[in-house]
Amino acid sequence: MAPILAVTDLERAFYSEIYETRETSSERRTPSVSVRGPRAFVSARTAQCKTATGRRRQVRTYAYKSVYGVERIASMTEPALLHLDGPATMNRLDEIRKVYATAFPGNSVEDHQWRTSRQANSPGFETVIAQLDGRIIGFVYGLPLAAGSGWWNGLTPDPGDGFTAETGTRTFAVIDLAVLPDHRGQGLGRRLMDELLRGRHEDRATLATDPAETDNQAMYDRWGWRPAGQVPGGEHETSAAFDLYVIALRSDPDATSSSR
Ligand SMILES: CC(C)(COP(=O)(O)OP(=O)(O)OC[C@H]1O[C@@H](n2cnc3c(N)ncnc32)[C@H](O)[C@@H]1OP(=O)(O)O)[C@@H](O)C(=O)NCCC(=O)NCCS
């Protein structure tokens, strides 16, 4: 559900207006009814509001009727999704690192800094950040596997000829996906992933999960990713072993097949 923000006087006035509008108009006459997810939105408007700290902010306010029959009003600012190349990622690495440290509390931020600095200098590296009020609240990034990449080294079971052959343009590796806890469960993780992969030109994408992260694995499974096997973890990596996943980005049905 959308986060319900602190209600300012201006927003309160807007809410009353919506309530009045709703009370005097039938569901049929409401012009912008559309059903998205579990809620029926009845109205939406962007307004300038002042936050508790006095900053001006554009707020998109939605009135909706929940499936449970309880009318509620929520106001939220939609996070913007922004693409960053390697140098732009390096410029915002301090902010990204803070989100990383919160999302992966058991991992070393020094190792993350070391890895990401190297990766961001590689051709084709790309990040998508979710930004709200100028603050990064989530990110995903990755890079194409170079010819001769060690990504698949030690893969078991043996996937068969050709599966691990990289050309620099065949496979995009998603390295990290993270959303701050307060913003989870609203589809942002999925949006970040979709936004990153939507513009990629590679045939397929891959990612690595800690074998103990069964919730994440189930999530990737629901998102269409398929297990490709397990590899051992290396120095500066976050797990002793990784379960690798793949997904086809093109219509080519062989993109994730081991017989390619
Ligand atoms: C994984 C992560 C990025 C998901 O972010 P998010 O914004 O919550 O993602 P979404 O809202 O798109 O939800 C993702 C899935 O998790 C499910 N989910 C979200 N919150 C949930 C909760 N509290 N309980 C159960 N399932 C939940 C959603 O139903 C969704 O599944 P679906 O797309 O099949 O419906 C976020 O939880 C995170 O940062 N985790 C810590 C870092 C991490 O583990 N990253 C992945 C490493 S492989």
Domains and CATH numbers, the chain: 9-76 (no CATH), 80-248 (3.40.630.30)
Indicate which atom in ligand 1 lies nearest the CA of residue 104. 42
Segment among 28-42, 48-62, 90-104 with least mean pLDDT: 28-42
Which protein residue has the closest C-alpha to ligand 1 atom 15? 219
- pLDDT-derived band at 236 (thresholds 50, 70, 90) equals confident
Query: Angle, to 10 degrees, between the axis of helix 93-103 and the axis of helix 109-120?
Result: 130
With bands split at pLDDT 50, 70 and 90, how would you rate the model's confidence at 66?
very low
DSSP single-letter state for residue 156: B
Q: What is the pLDDT of residue 250?
A: 83
What is the Å distance from ligand 1's center to 6 Cα?
25
Note if the bond before 157 is cis, omega within 30 degrees: yes
Taking residues 156-185, report their average pLDDT.
96
Q: Is the pLDDT of residue 260 over 50?
A: no
The predicted model scores a pTM of: 0.75
Quick check: helix, strand or coil at residue 84?
Answer: strand
Whether the CB of 193 sits within 6 Å of ligand 1 = no
Q: What is the pLDDT of residues 112-122, one digit of tens each?
A: 999 999 999 99
pLDDT at 254 over 80: no
Beta carbons of 117 and 105 less than 8 angstroms apart = no
Least confident of 83-92, 111-120, 205-214, 243-252: 243-252
Mutate to test the pocket of ligand 1, among 179, 209, 222, 237 (most ligand atoms within 8 A of CB): 179
pLDDT of residue 65: 41
Q: How far is CA 116 from the centre of its chain?
A: 18
Average pLDDT, the chain: 78
Confirm or reject: Cβ of 239 under 6 Å from ligand 1.
no
Render pLDDT for 73-93 as a digit per residue (tens, 0 to 9): 444 567 899 999 999 999 999
Q: Give the Å distance between the CA of 43 and the centre of ligand 1.
A: 28
Ligand 1 centroid to Cα of residue 176, in Å, is: 13
Question: Would you say residue 68 has pLDDT above 60?
Answer: no
Whole-number Å distance between alpha carbons of 207 and 70: 40
* Ligand 1 binding pocket includes 185 (Cβ within 6 Å): yes
Sign for the pseudo-dihedral over CA of 11, 52, 182, 135: positive
How many angstroms is it from 54 CA to the middle of ligand 1?
Answer: 33
Q: Please list, in sequence order, all residues whose beta carbon lies within 8 angstroms of the beta carbon of residue 130, skipping any fewer than 6 positions away.
A: 79, 80, 81, 136, 137, 138, 139, 179, 183, 188, 191, 192
The answer to whether 154 and 232 have CB atoms below 8 angstroms apart is yes
pLDDT of residue 234: 80
pLDDT tens digits along 1-31: 343 333 344 444 444 434 333 333 332 223 2
